[in-house]
Structure 1
Amino acid sequence: MQPTFPAETFPAHTPAASQVFTTVLAHGPLTRLDVARRAGLSPAAVTKAVRPLIEAGYLVEDADAEARPALGRPANRVRVDGGRALFTGLKVTGDEIIGVLTDLCCRILVARRVPLTGRAPRDVLAVAVDLANELRTEADGFGVPVLGLGIALAGDVDRAEGTVRYSPFLDWHCVPLAGPAGAASGLPVTVDNDVRALTVAEQWFGDGVGLSDFAVVTVGAGIGCGLVVHGRVVSGAHGVAGEIGHVPVDPDGPPCHCGNRGCLEAVAADAAILARVREVTGSDVAGTAEAVALAHRGDEGARAVYARAGEAIGRGIATVANLLGPQRVIISGEGLAAYDLYARQIRDGFAAAAFGSAARCEVRTRPLPFEEWARGAAATAIQSFVGR
C-alpha cells in the first residue's frame, strides 16, 4: 500500500520540486543559482519549482546583500522553514521502540523510549501507535501539524507495499504494517528497513552530505548496509540491496538464521560473537557487555573472537567498496562499543580484500544512538511527503 496523505499535501509533486526541496534541506541556505548547480537543473526550472514552495511556506527567502552578483539585484538565499510541519519516527528493536518528533528539517524536538510488551505484530503495533499518539500530543504545543509517521525496523522490508517480509529479531513473516499503523494512528505511514532509513538521514544531515556515492554499514545485533549510488538511496529490484550481513565469509563457518553457513552476520553480529566467546572461553557471560569486558580484561580467547569478527567486517566492507566504489563507508551501530577490540582487524581485513583503487575508499566510524535511527525513520516520512 502506497502512503496516502491528509488534506495538506506537498505543494508541487514533481521530480524537480522534490529535488529542489531536498537540495535546500541538505545544503541550504542556497541561492537559486547554487540550487541549480547542485541539483543539475536549469535556473528556470529551479525558479519555477521554488515559487509554490515559498508561497506554501515550505521554503523561506532571506535577503542577502553579500550574495550580490556583478550586475542586477541581490541573489537572495532560500532555506527550509523547519517549523512549517512536524513528523514522527519510530525505530523498532526486539525489545523496545524509540520514537522522536522532528521538525521539517528533521531536528529532534522530543524523544521517547518504551519497552515492548511482546513481539507479535498486534503487540508491536499497539505500542507503536500509542507512542506515535503520545508524540502527536506533544506536537500540539508547537502549533503545527504532524504530516507523517516513519517506522524503521531490521529485516527485509517492502517500502512500496508497507510490508515486513521478514524480520529475524521480531520473527515476523509477511506482516503488513503501513496500512494498519496508518488506520490506527490517522497518519500517512512509511515503513522501511532501519539501515536504509538511517542512510537517508546520513545523506541529508550526516556524514554523507555532499557525497554522491557512499555506504552506511551497521554492526551490532545484525550487520546491515545502506547504499547511496549517484545521489540516491537504493534498495534494488527486490528491496534487499546492501544485505552484506548475508554475504558468506566462511563456507565452513557457523550456521546463520537465514539457512546458510558462514554469513558475515553469523560470524560478526553480537549474538554470534557472544556464542563464540562462551564456546572458546568456557565462560557463562550473560550478554555482549560482559563479553566485551572479558576481552578488555585480556582474555585471549575472547580477544581472538573479536579479532575474527573484525577481519570479517573489514572484508564485508571491502566487498561493498569493490562492487560500488563509494567515496566513503560509515560504520555505525551498537557494535561500536567493542570497536577498540577489532578496529585494527577491520582495517587489515579491508586492506587485504579491497581491489585496486577501491582501497582509497575512506572508512569512518560514527557512533549513533537509536534516537538517530528513529530520526532516520522520520526522514523517510519526509521523503515520502515530498515525493522523493
Structure 2
Amino acid sequence: MRSTTPRIDVVPAPTPAASLVFTTVLTHGPLTRIEISRRTALSSAAVTKAVRPLMAAGYLVEDADEEARPSLGRPATLVRVDGGRALFIGVKVTGDEIIAVLADLCCRIRVARHLPVTDRDPGAVLASISGLVQELLTEAEGFGVEVRGLGLAVSGDVDRAAGVVRYSPFLDWRDVPLVELASTVTGLPVTVDNDVRALTVAEQWFGAGAGISDFALVTVGAGIGCGLVVHGKVVSGAHGVAGEIGHLPIDPLGPPCHCGNTGCVEAIAGDAAIIRRVREATGAPVTDSAGALELAHQGDPGAREAYTRAGEAIGRAIGAVVNVLGPQRVIISGEGLAAYDLFAEQIRDAFTASAFGTAAQCDVMTRPLPFEEWARGAAATAIQSFIGIDTY
C-alpha cells in the first residue's frame, strides 16, 4: 500500500462556472453549448470559457450529433463527460459490512467488493478499507486509468469539512479523524461524509432527484436517515446534522433511543426497534429482521402491530420534513423497504395527516437501492472534491 502524501488533484480551473458546467453536462449530457447555456443561465461566452480548460484536459469531449444535422450546414456538436478519463473509489461502512466500488468519472460502477466487519474498532475497519482499496487500485491498473480520489460514507454525525467522524452509533466511533488516517494508508485524496448525504448526492446527480431543485431522501433500515436538497444544494446545516429525522422525538412516552432521548423515530421504526417490539409482543425468539418479517407475513398480530407503529412514525417524520422544507419529492429508500408492504399504508396515512395543506401533494415515492449504490454515493463525493464543487 502506498503511503505517500496525497496530492490535491482537481479538475483544471475549478471556478464556480466550470463546476456548474461540468455537473450540468455530467447529469444531463450530452448537451449542445446552447443547451448548457440555457440550463446554467450562463452566457455563451461564459460557457466557452468554462469548457475550454476542461476539454484541454480531456474531461469534456465533443461529438458530432449526426441525428441533429440540419438540412443545410454542419451537424450540431454535443459536449459530454469522458467517463473513462478518471476513476474513483467509494466505500460505504456499515456496522456489519464494508462495500467498496470502483467508479468512473460518470460514477458508473466498474468493480464492486464486499467484506464483512468482524471488528468495529477504527483501526481494524481502516485496515479492511485499506485492503479493499488496494484491490481496487489493482483493478484500476487494468483500465489504464489513474484513481483520483477516495470517498468514504459512514453513518452518524460526520464533519466533512474537518474530515472527522464525530459520532457513529452503529460503529460506536467518536471523533475519528478518518480522512487523515485513510489518506495516510492509501496515499489518495480522501473525502468523508455521512452515508445518507452521500447517497443523496448520487440521487441528485443520477437518480430520482435528477433535475429537481428541492427533494428529500428518507432511508429506512438499521437507522432512519434523511438527506435534503434545497435550491439544488445538499444541506448539512451549521452543525452538520441537518436531516437527522431518526432522532426527531415524536412520542414522549416511547422507548428510549441510543442517542439518549425518548420516543425518537429511530427508536420506533429502526430495524433493532422493530425486532425488539416483535420479540416483546410475540414472545418469539426473534433475533433479526428476517425473523420479524416472517412472523408479520404469517399474520401474527403482535408482529404486524410493530410494523404498523413503525410506518406511522416514518409517515409523521416525512410530514414534518415536508411541512418545514416543502420539497417537490420525497424518495424513500434503504434496506428497510423489504417490509414496505407491511407499513406502506401507515406511512401514507400518517404523512397525509401530518402534512399541512398543499404540502400533502408532495410526490412520495419508493426506490429500493442496494448498498453498492451507497458506495457509489461515496464515490460521487470524491468526484465532487475532484471537480471543486462546493455543495454545502
Does the pair score TM above 0.5?
Answer: yes
Tell me which residue corresponds to 1:95: 96
Contact 1:249 1:312 in 2 (8 A): yes
Structure 1 SS opposite 2:238: coil
What do the CA deviations read for 1:37-83 (whole angstroms, capped 9, x no partner)? Answer: 21222221111000111111001101124546899854411000000
Structure 2 SS opposite 1:63: strand
Alignment of 1:368-379 (within 5 A): 368-379=369-380
Tell me which residue corresponds to 2:253: 252
Tell me which residue corresponds to 2:208: 207
Contact 1:98 1:112 in 2 (8 A): yes
Q: Structure 1 residues 37-46 or 296-305, which shifts more?
A: 37-46
Q: Distance in 2 between matches of 1:364 and 1:191?
A: 28
Alignment of 1:144-183 (within 5 A): 144-183=145-184
After superposition, the Cα gap between the structure-2 partners of 1:72 and 1:227, relative to the gap in structure 1 and judged at 3 Å, is farther
Tell me which residue corresponds to 1:219: 220
Are 1:383 and 2:384 an aligned pair? yes
Q: Which amino acid aligns with 1:236?
A: G
1:140 Cα deviation after fit = 0.3
Structure 2 SS opposite 1:119: coil
Tell me which residue corresponds to 1:300: 301
After superposition, the Cα gap between the structure-2 partners of 1:138 and 1:70, relative to the gap in structure 1 and judged at 3 Å, is same
Q: Distance in 1 between matches of 2:56 and 2:374?
A: 32
Alignment of 1:84-163 (within 5 A): 84-163=85-164
Contact 1:156 1:240 in 2 (8 A): yes
Q: Distance in 1 between matches of 2:238 and 2:67?
A: 47
Are 1:286 and 2:308 an aligned pair? no
Q: Distance in 2 between matches of 1:228 and 1:69?
A: 39
1:208 Cα deviation after fit = 0.5
Tell me which residue corresponds to 1:318: 319
Tell me which residue corresponds to 1:18: 19
Q: Which amino acid aligns with 1:188?
A: P
Q: Distance in 2 between matches of 1:70 and 1:361?
A: 44
Q: Which amino acid aligns with 2:192?
A: V
Tell me which residue corresponds to 1:77: 78
Structure 2 SS opposite 1:293: helix
Structure 1 SS opposite 2:48: helix
Q: Distance in 2 between matches of 1:7 and 1:329?
A: 36
What do the CA deviations read for 1:97-127 (whole angstroms, capped 9, x no partner)? Answer: 0000011000000000011231111011110
Gap regions ≥5 residues in structure 2:
none
Structure 1 SS opposite 2:185: helix
1:7 Cα deviation after fit = 6.8
Tell me which residue corresponds to 1:38: 39
1:261 Cα deviation after fit = 0.4
Tell me which residue corresponds to 2:240: 239
Structure 1 SS opposite 2:123: helix
What do you get for the CA RMSD once the two structures are aligned? 1.4
Contact 2:8 2:189 in 1 (8 A): no
1:357 Cα deviation after fit = 1.2
Q: Distance in 2 between matches of 1:182 and 1:213?
A: 33
Q: Distance in 1 between matches of 2:336 and 2:326?
A: 24
Q: Distance in 1 between matches of 2:70 and 2:354?
A: 50
Q: Which amino acid aligns with 2:125?
A: V
Structure 2 SS opposite 1:225: strand
Structure 1 SS opposite 2:340: helix
What do the CA deviations read for 1:260-285 (whole angstroms, capped 9, x no partner)? Answer: 10000011000011111111111111
Contact 1:119 1:170 in 2 (8 A): yes
- TM value normalised by structure 1: 0.97
Give structure 1 regions of 4+ aligned residues with deviation exceeding 6 angstroms. Answer: 69-72
